[in-house]
Amino acid sequence: MLGYLLSLIPNQQLAFIDASSNCINLCGVILMILRFKEAWWIWLVNNIIDLIMWIVIVCKDGEGSIMMLLVSIGYLIINIYGIFKWHLDVKKIEK
């Protein structure tokens, strides 16, 4: 439904991929609120989808998309760090 609404916006590219990314992100936020480590893996999937989406838009010469591509790369790096940090913290607690 969100993908359809986004597709109604003029010049909207990849509306359904963007909508699925937003829905996956919302699931990650809910899991993080509940303090599940799986939230990091959900966000990893979301960041990879975002990265692919922005690469496609940059290749199509999207206006202002290079900055969003850099932001997506930054989020991916933060996400990978969060996975390792959470894993290390769990190991410390288990000892």
- For the chain, the domains span 2-94
What does the pLDDT read at residue 45? 92
Contact 57, 39 (CB under 8 A): no
* Digitized pLDDT (tens) for each residue of the chain, 95 residues in all: 777 777 777 777 777 777 788 888 888 889 888 878 788 899 899 999 989 888 988 888 777 788 989 999 999 999 999 889 988 888 888 77
Entry pTM: 0.76
Q: How much is the pLDDT for 37?
A: 77
**Residue partners of 22: CB distance under 8 A and separation at least 6:** 2
In this predicted structure, what is the pLDDT of residue 15? Answer: 74
- Tokens read off for 28: 């990650």
Question: What does the pLDDT read at residue 16?
Answer: 79
d(CA 90, CA 92): 5
Q: What is the pLDDT of residue 78?
A: 92
